[in-house]
Amino acid sequence: MEEYIDALNPDGTLTGVKKTRKEIHRSGDWHRTVHVWIINSQGEILTQLRSHSKEQDPNKWDLSAAGHISAGDDSKTSVLREVEEELGLDVSRDELNYIAETSSSEVLNDGSYIDNELHDIYIIYKDLDMKDVVLQKEEVADVRWIKCEDMEKDIKENPTKYVDQGEEFGLVFDYIRKHKR
């Protein structure tokens, strides 16, 4: 079944048009996504290694889970869906901490994939056993816990190992430091 996404104006307001994911990226419409960072009580971030078959940024380390917001859905509903689909984890709306919105714009695959996104960023504080994580193999090759400061250092030293989340990295790392649990 095709996933439909709400096309947005650059300011995030709805245009009233719904398009398939493929159409959104072919025409370069702005659209909304969710970015989820799962943090445990040791201050470690659950990161995922994107599958080698991903069209965008294959074989790179990324945040815990992410995905498009389906047409008509809100971002919290999308967070719950993406965390369950990609990691097999059941989380509740009460666990979702909205921290910010960022945006990104890039052209990939010789211009055939135009990605204009507004990202709703969430943090989930959760201690979990890695045996409870069930990976969606089409999306996620592996997961690991990494200390915030180690991830920050690794991104500076080895930026090509990670999906470039731009200003989001700084926002999230600052938030984690300020809201230690």
pLDDT per position as a tens digit, 29-56:
999 999 999 999 999 999 999 999 998 8
pTM of the prediction?
0.94
pLDDT of residue 24: 96
Which residues does residue 118 pair with via DSSP β-bridges, in sequence order? Answer: 32, 103
Q: Where are the beta strands (DSSP E) in the chain?
A: 4-8, 14-20, 30-39, 44-50, 61-62, 65-68, 96-108, 113-125, 140-147
Amino acid residing at 69: I
d(CA 41, CA 49): 22
What are the distances in angstroms from CA 180 to CA 38, 41, 125, 177? 13, 8, 10, 6
Which residues does residue 70 pair with via DSSP β-bridges, in sequence order? Answer: 5
Rg from Cα positions in the chain: 16
pLDDT of residue 55: 81
Fold of 32-97+118-178: Nucleoside Triphosphate Pyrophosphohydrolase (3.90.79)
Residue ranges per domain, the chain?
32-97+118-178
State how far Cα 32 lies from the chain centre. 11
pLDDT of residue 109: 82
Kindly report, residue by residue over 61-114, the tens digit of the pLDDT: 999 999 999 999 999 999 999 999 999 999 999 999 999 999 999 998 888 889
pLDDT of residue 46: 98
